[in-house]
Structure 1
Amino acid sequence: MFGLRQSVIDIELRRTLIIRDDCSTRCSVGRGATGFTTRSDIGPARDANDVSDDRHAPPTKRKKKEEEEEEDEDLNDSNYDEFSGYGGSLFSKDPYDKDDEEADMIYEEIDKRMDEKRKEYREKRLREELEKYRQERPKIQQQFSDLKRGLVAVSEDEWRSVPEVGDARNRKMRNPRAERFTPLPDSVLTRNMGGESQSTIDPSSGLMSAIPGTASQGMLTPTGDLDLRKMGQARNNLMNVKLNQISDSVEGQTVVDPKGYLTDLQSMIPSYGGDINDIKKARLLLKSVRETNPNHPPAWIASARLEEVTGKIQAARNLIMKGCEENQSSEDLWLEAARLQPPDTGRGVIAQAVRFIPTSVRIWIRAADLETETKAKRRVYRKALEHIPNSVRLWKAAVELEDPEDARILLSRAVECCPTSVDLWLALARLETYENARKVLNKARENIPTDRQIWVTAAKLEEANGNKHMVEKIIDRAVTSLSANGVEINREHWFKEAIEAEKAGSVHTCQVLIKSIMGHGVEEEDRKHTWMEDAETCASQGAFECARAIYSQALVTFPSKKSIWLRAAYFEKNHGTRDSLEALLQRAVAHCPKSEVLWLMGAKSKWMAGDVRAARGILSLAFQANPNSEEIWLAAVKLESENNEYERARKLLAKARASAPTPRVMMKSAKLEWCLDNLETASKLLDEAIKVFPDYAKLWMMKGQIDEQQGETDKAWETYNIASKKCQHSVPIWIMMSSLEEKRKQLTKARSVLEKARLRNPANPRLWLEAIRVEFRAGKRDISNTLMAKALQECPNSGILWAEAIFLEPRPQRKTKSVDALKRCEHDPHVLLAVSKLFWSEHKLQKCRDWFNRTVKIEPDLGDSWAYFYKFEILNGSEEQQEDVKKRCISAEPHHGEMWCAVSKKIDNWRLNIEQILLLVAKDLPIPI
C-alpha cells in the first residue's frame, strides 16, 4: 500500500514541475528578463498552438472573441473526455503515455481496496435492514407456521369432513345450475319391467320418445307397451336385407360374404399407428431394393412384414409368395410364407418348400408343427429322417412323440446315424435294461471317448443297481481316460456334475466325484482355503452332501486342524441331524482334545436332547483333557443348575474357585446364590471377589444391584462411587450410578455423573444417549435436542445415536433424518431397526417386513430387532409368519439389545429360555407412533 501511494506522489510531482517550468519560462520572456536562457534563445517563446495573450485587449474585442470560441466549441462524442469534459483541459493536448496508464491503474487499485473495507459494513447494514423488513412484513407461510404444526392432531375423520374449496372468482361455481344432460338410471328400466325379466317398456316412462315410429311398425304389445324382442328382430331383419342387397352384383357374382362380414371388418382394422408418410417411404425403399436385387430374401421378408403391420395381410401374402418364386432355395422366405398363410394354405406352402429344399431341418419341423394330429406329426418326422438321417434335432423331436418301446427302437437307429450325439446315447441307455444300458454306454464311450457325462451316467447306473463298489472304479477310470485323450479336467464342471448327481439322488456318486476331483489342480498350500470355499459354495446351492464330502476329505487330509472341525460341526448343526453332529464331535475331540468349544458343543447337544447323564460324561472327559478350563467349569455348573442340582453346582463352583479362581468363576458363584435368593451369601462372595479382583466391573455392578434390591440406596450409591474410581472406563457403572440418582429425584446429580463419565470416556455414544434420555424423561425436550446435536458432532458414525435422533424429530422430519442416518450408518442394525419402526408407524407393512428381515439378517444377535419383528407379526401377520420369526429367533440365540437384556438379565428370569424371553420382551414393547 505504501508503494502505491509513493508512485502516485512521484507522478504528481513530475506533472507539477513540468507545468511550473513552462509557466516560468513564458513569464520571464514576456517581462524582458535577461541573464538566463529561455525558449527565445532556442526558438519562439510561444508555441504555435499556444493560446494568445489577450488580457490587455479591449473589452469589446475580448467579448467578441469569447463568443466566437463558444460558437466554435465542438460538442461531438469524440471530443468528450471523462476527466475534462468537452473541449479538453490543461493536459488535453498531452499524449496518454504509460505513466498515465500506470497512475490510473494505481488509483483503481486504491478504490477497490477502499471499497473492500467498506464492503463488510455495507453487507452487515443490508442484512440488518432485510431482517427488519421481514420482521415488519412477514411471509404468509411464516404467519401460519403454528397452525401447520397444529395439523398433526387432526384425525382422519376431520380431514374427510373438510369441505372443498370453491373459487370465489368463478361465477359458475358461485351459482351452480342443474345438469343439462342426465343419464337415465337403471332403476327406471327395473321399475318399468317389474320384478321379473320382461321384454317390454311402459310407454309412459319417457323412453318411447327415443324410439320413433314404434307404433306404426307394430312393435307395441296389446297393452300398449314396447316389445323389445320384436325391436331386436326387426333390426336383425333390416341388417340381413342390406347384406343380401350387396351380396350379389348385377352379374350375379357374390362379392360379400354375409356370415363373415363382421369378422373381415375386424381384420381390416390397421394395427399400425405411425405416420402414413413413413409407410410410403418404406414401401418405396423396399420396392427399390426388390427391383435392384430380386434375389435378396430379406427385402421380400421386410416388404411382407410392412404390409402385415399396416393391416394389408393379402398384399403381404402376395409379396412373400412372389419372393418365394424368385428365391426358391431360401429357407427363411418359405418359413415366412407359411407363417403368413392360414393353416390349410400354409401346409401347401410348406409342401412346396419341401420339394425345393428337402434337406432343411427347420422346414420339416415347421411342417410337423402345422399338423394337428400326433400320427400326422410322426409321419412327417419319419419322412424328414429319410431325407436327413444325420439330424440330431429331428431324431429328438421324433422320439418325443413315440411310446417308450417305439422310442427305444428309434433311438437304436438314431445312435447308428448320429454316433457322436451324447444326448441320444444317454436317452437310449435310460430306456434300456441294466445289462443293455451297460452295453450302450460302453459303445458310447468307444464312439465319444472325450465326454465325461457318459462316465458319470455309468456311475449313476451302477449306484442305482446297488453296485456302489463300482462307482469309484468308474470315476477313477474316467479321470484317467479323459486325461489320456487330452481333455482338460475342469474342477467347476466336475463339481457341477456332482451337484446334479446329488439332486438326481445319486449321493454316493456325488461323494466319489468330490473325492476324486477336489484336489485336482490345487496347490498344496492353498488346499485348506480352497476346500472351505468349495464347501460354502456347495452349501449355498443346497448341495449338502457335496459339502459334507468336502469336509470329510479335508478332515482326512488335516485331522488336527481345529478350524475345519469347527466348520464341519457348525455345518452339521445347521444342515445335519443330531446323530451326525454327535458322531462328528466324538471324532473331533479325539483329534483335538484341547479344544474346549468342541467338548462344549458335544455336551450341549446331549443336554438339549435330554440326555443329562451323557452330557455329564462328556464334561468329565473334558475336565481330564483340560483340568483348569474356566469354560468347562462354568458349563458344568450351568448344566447342574439348569437341572435343579444346586448342591452339585455349589460344589463344582467351590472346586473351581479353589483350582481356577478367575473373576468369572467368582461372579457365577455369587450369581447362583443371588438367583437362589441367598443375598447375604452372595454379598460375602462379592466382597471376597472384589478384594482379589478390584478392577472387574461386573462384580461391583452385582454388589450395587443387590444393595438396591435390599432397599439400601445409600450403600448402593457408595458402591457405585467406589466402582467409578476403580473402573473408570466401565460405562455401565456410570449409567447405573446416574439411574440411581434419577430414581432419588436428583436430576442435577445425574447430569453431573454423566458429564464426569464423558470426561473419563470421551466420544462414547452410550453415555451421550443416556444423557439425552435423562433430559427427555425429565420433559426437557429442547435440552435433549441440543445434546443430540453435540453427540452427533462427537460421534458422527454411532448407530444408536442416529436411531434415537430419528424419533426425537417431529413426525414430518423423521423421514429426512432417517435418510441422513442411512448415509452415515448404512449397515448398522440399530439404524435399520429404527427405519423399520418408522415404516411401521406409517402403516407401510410390506416395507416394514422387508426392513425387519434385513435387520435380523445383518445382526442376528440383536434381541431387540427380533422382539420388534415378532410384535409386528403378532399385530399384522399370519400365524405362519409369527412361527417363522419365532423359529429363526430361537435358532439365532440372541444375547444383546437394550430391551432384550433388561428382561434376560433380570434375576427373576434366570431360567427362561429364548422363546420365553422373546414373548416377554415383545409383550412390553410400545407400538411405534
Structure 2
Amino acid sequence: MASNKPNKLAFLSMPAPASYVAGLGRGASGFTTRSDIGPAREGPSAEVVAEAQARRGEEAEVDPEQFQDPDNEYGLFAGTTYEADDEEADKIYDVVDQNMDARRRARREAREEAELAKHRAERPKLQQQFADLKRGLSVVTDEEWESIPEVGNLTRKKRRRDERSFAVPDSVLVGDRAKGEYENSLDTAQQEHGGFETPADSGTMTNFVEIGQARDKILSLKLDQISGTSTSSGSATSVDPKGYLTSLNSVVLKTDAEIGDIKRARMLFDSLVKSNPKHAPGWIAAAALEEHAGRMVAARKLIKMGCEQCPKSEDVWLEAARLHQNDDAKVVLANAVQHVGQSVKIWMAAADLEHDVKAKKRVLRKALEHIPNSVRLWKETVNLESSAADARILLSRAVEVIPLSVELWLALARLETPERAKAVLNKARKAVPTSHDIWIAAGRLLEQEAYNPEKSEADREKELAMVDRTIEEGVKQLRRHQVLLTREQWLKEAERCEAEGSPRTCEAIVKATVHMEVEEEDRLETWLSDAESAEARGRVSTARAILAYALRVFPEKRELWRRAADLEKAHGTRESLDAILERAVLHCPQAEVLWLMWAKEKWLGGDVPRAREVLEKAFVANPESEQIWLAAVKVEAENGELEVARKLLVRARTIADTERIWMKSAVFERQNGQTDLALSTVSTALTKYPKFANLYMIQGQIHQSKKNYAAARASYAAGMKACPKDVTLWVLASRLEEADGKSIRARALLDKARLVNPKQDVLWAEAVGVEERTGAAAQAKTMLARGLQECPESGLLWSMAIWAEPRPSRKSKSIDALKKCQDDAGVICTVARLFWAERKIEKAREWFNRSVGADHDLGDTWGWWLKFERQHGTKDHQEQVITRCGAAEPHHGRTWQPIAKDDRNRGKSPREILELVAAALV
C-alpha cells in the first residue's frame, strides 16, 4: 500500500529555481569546476547582487567608468595635444601650490607639534614613564646597591646540575682537619719568660717604628711610580708642576669602543707576527698599535723583537730608532748598520740624531766609506761644509766616484771660477752626453760672463752670440744621442731660465726649439698661442722671444707687430716700444694703426716734434689715409695750433675727401666757436654725402644750441628721411621736441621710430624715459614691459626694469635679468649697485670688476665704480679705478657720451671725464 507522505529524497532531485545561486545570501556567486561538463552557469545579475547587498546593509560599489564619455574610450581630454602653453600653465600652478604650501607650513607644523605633544601626554613612552625612577637612582647608596638581591631563575625550568668534580688539594684537607683542634701546651719561650708572646717563627714584626718606616718607604715608591720621577737607583727627584700638568693634558682618554678595537687589533697583529715572523710591516704595525695605546715599553719590546726577526729590513730599524730616545736610538742605528750597512736611510737617520756639525760630518763620511756611489750622501756632506774650498774638494771627489750624476757636476761648476767652470762643464758633457741641463748651464755661464761690467759692448755681443750657438749646438748633439725633448719641455726649460734670471739663455732656447713639431700652415697661430700662454703665466721674456722669432719668419704680418707692440706697452719700456714700432712701420708701411700707435706714444711721452715727424712719414706712405690726417689734426689742435689744424683739415678735404673728414671739420669749427662756418661746412658736406647721418646730427645740434628749434627740427626731419635706420637721429629729434615742451610729439616720433626700426632697445628706453620725465610712472612701467617683450635680451631694458621694481623684489628681478643676458655689462653693474645698496662692500666691488671686464668701453660702469669707491673704498682703490679707466679709454654710455662730447669738455683726459661722470650719476 502506497504511502501518502512526501518523499524528502525527491526534493533533492528536483531542479533548482531560476536564477538560484547557492550561498548567495552569504555573498557567494556561481562558479564552475573542472569536473563540470558544458558551459558554466551565468552568475546573478547586477540587480540581484545589489538587492542582496542592500538586504545585508552593504553599499553598492561605484563603477569609475560609468561617467566616462562613451565617444571617448580613454578620457575626456585624451584627444587634445599637450602644448607649451599647457606645460607653462602646469608649472605656474605648481609654483602657486608650492607658495600656498609654504605659506601654510608654519601653521601646519605648529598644529602637528601640538598634536604630537598631546599624544605624548596621553600615551607617554616607556622611557618617560620611568624617568622619575631613573632620577631617583642617583641618590641610591652603595649599601643599598649591595643589598639588591640577585635575579633568580624566573623561567620555571629546571637547570641541569653541574656534575663536574674537582680534586681537592691536600693542603685544604689538612687545614680543615686542624681547624677544630686545640693547643694543649705552651710555647717554650712562653714558659721561660713566664708569659704569652707571639711565636717567633710566625714572621710577624713587633717593632712598630720599623713598620712605620717601611710603610713610608713603600708609599714614596708608589708616588714615584705614579709621577714617573723614580730613577734607576730608586731615589725620587723633584716634580715639575707645569710639566706634570702638561703631561696630564696630553693624556688621551680612550672610550670603551676604542679599547675594544685596540684589543682586537692586538690579537690580529699578535697572530700575524707569530704566523709570519719575517714580515717586517707586521712588527712595525704591532709596535705602532702599542704606541697608539700609550704602552711605549711594549712598543719598544715588540720592535726589538722585530729587529731580531727581520735584521735586513731598514724600515724596522728606522721605526725602532723613532720609538727610542735620542741616545738609545743611536745605539739602535749602530746595530742597524751592522746588518744593513748599504742603506742610505739608516745613515741619514743616524746623522740627523747628531746635533754637532762635526759629529754629523763624521757619520756621513763613515757612510760614504760604505756607500760611495750615493748622490744624496755626497750632497748632504757638501752642504755641511762651511767653506767653498772644502766643498769644491768634496765635489771633485764625488764626480770622480759618480761621473753620471748631473747634479754633482752642476754643483761643482757653480763653485768654480768661470774659466774652470767651462772645463768642468766640458768634462760633464763628455761624461753625460745625454743631459740637456749641462748645455743649459753652459749657456747661462756664458750669459753671466757677458754681462760682466768690465767687458766692452763688442765683447758682450760676442758672448751673447755664443749663448745662441751653444744652445743650438746642444740641441743638435742631444738629437744625435737620441735625446728627443718635446717642444713643450724646451719651452718649460726656457721659462725656468727666465725665472732664474737668465733671459738671454731663455731667448736662445726659444730660437733653437720653438719651430719644432709645428706644421707649416699652423706656425703663426701656434706661436701666437704660445706667446699668450707665456704672458698669462708672467713669463714676459719667453713671450717676447717667441714673438721675435715669429716676426723674423713673418715680417709682413701687421697683427704680429701689433701684438709685439702691445706686449712692450704692457711690460716693456718706452725705448723698447719705440724700437718695436719703428721696425714695424719699416716692414709694414701701409699699416695705418702702427703709424698711429707710434705717433701717439711719442705724443703721450711729451715729444710732440717727434710725433709730427712720424705723421709726416705716415703721410708719405699713406697719402690718402683718413686716420692719419685726423691724427695730425688732433695733435695740432691739442697743442694749440688751431690755424695749422684748420689748414690740415682743408688739405685733407682736398686729398682724402671722406665723409668723416668733413664731419671732423664741422666739429672742429663748432668746438672753436665758429658756428656759422661749421654750418656752411655741414651744408657743403651734405651735398656730397646726403646719406651720412652724423652731418644731420651736427647741424641739428648747432641750431638747437642757438634755440632755433624750427631749423633744428627741419635738420632732424631731413636726416630721418635720408637715414631712417639711424636710431640716434630719432632719439635726438624726440629730445628736441621734449626740450620744446611738446612731449606728445616726442612720443609720436618714438612710436614711428619703433615701427621703422623694430627691436631697438634704445628707442624703448628713450620712450620709458619720456614717460618718467613727464610723471607718468604707470605708463612708463607699461612701456618697459612692452619693450622687454620685444627685446627680451636687452641689458639696458632689464637694468631699467630692476630699478622700476620695489626694493624687496629687485633681487629676484636681477636673477631673471642675469638668466636672460648674463654677460651684459649694464646688468652686472646693476647687480653691483644692488649689493652696494645692501652694504655688501666686497660683493659690490667684485661685481663692479666683473662689469668692466665684460665691457671696458662702457663709461657709465667706470663712473658708478668710482662713485662707489668714493663712498666705501680707500685712496688705493680709487686710484686703481681711475688708472684702469684711463688705460681702457671708454667711449660709450648714456651719461659718458654727452659729457665727453660737450664742447666745454674738449681736450679733457679720460681721468677728468670720469670725475665728471661720477659726479653726474644719480
CA drift at 1:788: 3.1
**CA–CA separation in structure 1 for the residues paired with 2:872 and 2:217:** 66
1:83 pairs with one of 21, 30, 46: 46
Which AA in structure 1 matches 2:525? H
Residue 108 of structure 2 aligns with which residue?
Answer: none
CA drift at 1:111: 8.3
Residue 623 of structure 2 aligns with which residue?
Answer: 627
1:247 pairs with one of 197, 218, 223: 223
**CA–CA separation in structure 1 for the residues paired with 2:512 and 2:737:** 70
Which AA in structure 2 matches 1:647? E
* Cα deviation 1:370-395 (Å, max 9, x = unaligned): 22222222222111111111111111
Contact 1:361–1:391 (CA under 8 A) maintained in structure 2: yes
CA drift at 1:264: 4.8
1:468 pairs with one of 453, 464, 470: 464
Contact 1:734–1:754 (CA under 8 A) maintained in structure 2: yes
Unaligned runs of 5+ in 2: 1-13, 30-42, 53-62, 81-88, 105-215, 451-462
1:691-706 aligned at under 5 Å gives the runs 691-706=687-702
Residue 278 of structure 1 aligns with which residue?
Answer: 261
Identity score, percent: 46
**CA–CA separation in structure 1 for the residues paired with 2:315 and 2:617:** 80
1:249–1:859 CA distance, 2 compared to 1 (3 A) = closer
Contact 1:452–1:478 (CA under 8 A) maintained in structure 2: yes
1:462–1:717 CA distance, 2 compared to 1 (3 A) = same
* Cα deviation 1:283-322 (Å, max 9, x = unaligned): 2222222222122222222222233333333333332232
CA drift at 1:731: 1.2
Contact 1:572–1:581 (CA under 8 A) maintained in structure 2: yes
**CA–CA separation in structure 2 for the residues paired with 1:433 and 1:740:** 83
1:551-590 aligned at under 5 Å gives the runs 551-590=547-586
Which AA in structure 1 matches 2:278? N
CA drift at 1:603: 1.5
2:652 pairs with one of 656, 660, 681: 656
Contact 1:788–1:805 (CA under 8 A) maintained in structure 2: yes
1:139–1:74 CA distance, 2 compared to 1 (3 A) = closer
Which AA in structure 1 matches 2:239? K
Q: Does 1:440 align with 2:407?
A: no
1:535–1:265 CA distance, 2 compared to 1 (3 A) = closer
**CA–CA separation in structure 1 for the residues paired with 2:612 and 2:246:** 87
1:16-35 aligned at under 5 Å gives the runs none
Which AA in structure 2 matches 1:756? K
2:608 pairs with one of 604, 607, 612: 612
CA drift at 1:536: 2.1
1:367–1:81 CA distance, 2 compared to 1 (3 A) = farther
**CA–CA separation in structure 2 for the residues paired with 1:686 and 1:301:** 96
Residue 675 of structure 1 aligns with which residue?
Answer: 671
Which AA in structure 1 matches 2:327? D
Q: Does 1:450 align with 2:434?
A: yes
1:459–1:809 CA distance, 2 compared to 1 (3 A) = same
Residue 848 of structure 2 aligns with which residue?
Answer: 852
2:829 pairs with one of 818, 833, 837: 833
CA drift at 1:72: 9.7
Secondary structure in 1 matching 2:599: helix
Contact 2:446–2:467 (CA under 8 A) maintained in structure 1: yes
Secondary structure in 2 matching 1:372: coil
Segments of 4+ moved more than 6 angstroms: 69-73, 103-107, 111-115, 117-120, 138-142, 240-243, 248-253
Q: Does 1:259 align with 2:227?
A: no
Q: Does 1:888 align with 2:898?
A: no
**CA–CA separation in structure 2 for the residues paired with 1:86 and 1:574:** 97
1:378-777 aligned at under 5 Å gives the runs 378-403=361-386, 404-466=388-450, 467-777=463-773
Moved more, 268-277 or 246-255: 246-255
Residue 295 of structure 1 aligns with which residue?
Answer: 278
Residue 337 of structure 1 aligns with which residue?
Answer: 320
Residue 321 of structure 1 aligns with which residue?
Answer: 304
* Cα deviation 1:344-387 (Å, max 9, x = unaligned): 33222222222221111112111222222222222221111111
**CA–CA separation in structure 1 for the residues paired with 2:608 and 2:327:** 81
Residue 346 of structure 1 aligns with which residue?
Answer: 329
Contact 2:221–2:234 (CA under 8 A) maintained in structure 1: no
TM-score by length of 1: 0.74
Contact 2:858–2:890 (CA under 8 A) maintained in structure 1: yes
**CA–CA separation in structure 1 for the residues paired with 2:784 and 2:235:** 88
1:762-911 aligned at under 5 Å gives the runs 762-911=758-907
**CA–CA separation in structure 1 for the residues paired with 2:291 and 2:238:** 25
* Cα deviation 1:69-114 (Å, max 9, x = unaligned): 999994221248562224999xxxxxxxxxxxxx999995518679
**CA–CA separation in structure 1 for the residues paired with 2:225 and 2:504:** 82
* Cα deviation 1:41-82 (Å, max 9, x = unaligned): xxxxxxx96969xxxxxxxxxxxxxxxx99999422124856
1:249–1:676 CA distance, 2 compared to 1 (3 A) = closer
**CA–CA separation in structure 2 for the residues paired with 1:651 and 1:658:** 11
Which AA in structure 1 matches 2:46? F
1:77–1:484 CA distance, 2 compared to 1 (3 A) = same
Which AA in structure 1 matches 2:48? G
Residue 123 of structure 2 aligns with which residue?
Answer: none
* Cα deviation 1:473-502 (Å, max 9, x = unaligned): 322321221111111142222222222223
**CA–CA separation in structure 2 for the residues paired with 1:70 and 1:528:** 101
CA drift at 1:829: 1.6
Contact 1:247–1:256 (CA under 8 A) maintained in structure 2: no
Which AA in structure 2 matches 1:83? A
**CA–CA separation in structure 2 for the residues paired with 1:469 and 1:906:** 57
**CA–CA separation in structure 1 for the residues paired with 2:305 and 2:279:** 12
**CA–CA separation in structure 2 for the residues paired with 1:269 and 1:506:** 55
1:835–1:241 CA distance, 2 compared to 1 (3 A) = farther
1:76-115 aligned at under 5 Å gives the runs 76-79=26-29, 81=44, 83-86=46-49, 110=70
Contact 1:271–1:309 (CA under 8 A) maintained in structure 2: no
Contact 1:248–1:256 (CA under 8 A) maintained in structure 2: yes
Secondary structure in 2 matching 1:116: coil
**CA–CA separation in structure 2 for the residues paired with 1:715 and 1:242:** 122
**CA–CA separation in structure 1 for the residues paired with 2:397 and 2:640:** 77
Contact 1:268–1:312 (CA under 8 A) maintained in structure 2: no
**CA–CA separation in structure 2 for the residues paired with 1:274 and 1:516:** 67
Residue 311 of structure 1 aligns with which residue?
Answer: 294
RMSD: 3.6
Contact 1:244–1:258 (CA under 8 A) maintained in structure 2: no
* Cα deviation 1:148-196 (Å, max 9, x = unaligned): xxxxxxxxxxxxxxxxxxxxxxxxxxxxxxxxxxxxxxxxxxxxxxxxx
Secondary structure in 2 matching 1:911: coil
TM-score by length of 2: 0.74
| Matched pairs, number | 740
Which AA in structure 1 matches 2:223? S
Contact 1:729–1:761 (CA under 8 A) maintained in structure 2: yes
**CA–CA separation in structure 1 for the residues paired with 2:64 and 2:832:** 69
**CA–CA separation in structure 2 for the residues paired with 1:486 and 1:689:** 72
Which AA in structure 1 matches 2:785? A
Secondary structure in 2 matching 1:473: helix
Residue 116 of structure 1 aligns with which residue?
Answer: 76
